[in-house]
Chains A and B, each alone.
Chain A
């Protein structure tokens, strides 16, 4: 079956621009997570959705970052006024709200801010 899909796989933008990163979770998964991974580091949590609502957004670094999941499926991570320090791989994961709550990850979007 289809896994977690993230688009685009690569995004190059200029400092100050606005970007949107998309995540299609596994069908039926109610929980959706965004992480950010810098070179040589483990993924760092950004935000977690349970259905349409953000259950925990404590990892968002500042108010330039925002995420939505309007219909409880696809999610979009939005970054305003991008800075060079935002360059990283942005990972999305989804899980069933049941059992061991295993998170399944997409391949990520590599964002480069020039």
Chain B
């Protein structure tokens, strides 16, 4: 699975959009971009995934660049409960193998 690079930490004001970047320049054609987050003292939680088209669900939007070498997770209206560590992971969707987590981005949402 391809390696990802994320900023260590970010801040966001409550109610504003949080835009979390991820670089995955070695991504292969059959690899998807997955995002998970981990709120303090909880297990990681799946957010969203995508291959090349932009995706949106009730939690977030995922924007993938045309060359697929980077992506951005967007939380449109961040709340205090969105404070968490966000992990960007690249993997083949049909692969049932392990997830490889980096250190993620620690997002702090402030009032």
**How far is A31 from B93 in the complex, measured between Cα atoms in Å?**
14
Asked if A104 is at the interface (CB within 8 A of a chain B CB), the reply is yes
Number of interface residues of B (CB under 8 A): 22
User: Which of chain A's residues 46-96 have a Cβ closer than 8 Å to chain B?
Assistant: 48, 50, 55-56, 59, 91, 93, 95
Interface size on A, residues (CB 8 A): 29
A27 at the interface (CB under 8 A from B): no
Known contacts A41-B103, A42-B103; A104/B95 CB under 8 A: no
| Contacting residues, chain B, for A25 (C-beta < 8 A) | none
A104 vs B99: C-alpha distance in the bound complex, in angstroms? 11
Chain B, 25-78, CB within 8 A of any chain A CB: 32, 41-46, 49
CA A29 to CA B48, docked complex, whole Å:
20
- Whether A45 pairs with B98 at a CB distance below 8 angstroms is yes
| Interface positions of A from 7 to 37, Cβ below 8 Å from B | 31, 33, 35
Q: Tell me how far the C-beta of B32 lies from the nearest C-beta in chain A, rounded to whole angstroms.
A: 7
Q: Mark B77-94, 1 if CB is under 8 A from A, else 0.
A: 000000001010000011
Using CB atoms, name the residue of chain B closest to A45: B98
Which residues of B are in contact with A by a Cβ distance under 8 Å? 32, 41-46, 49, 85, 87, 93-104
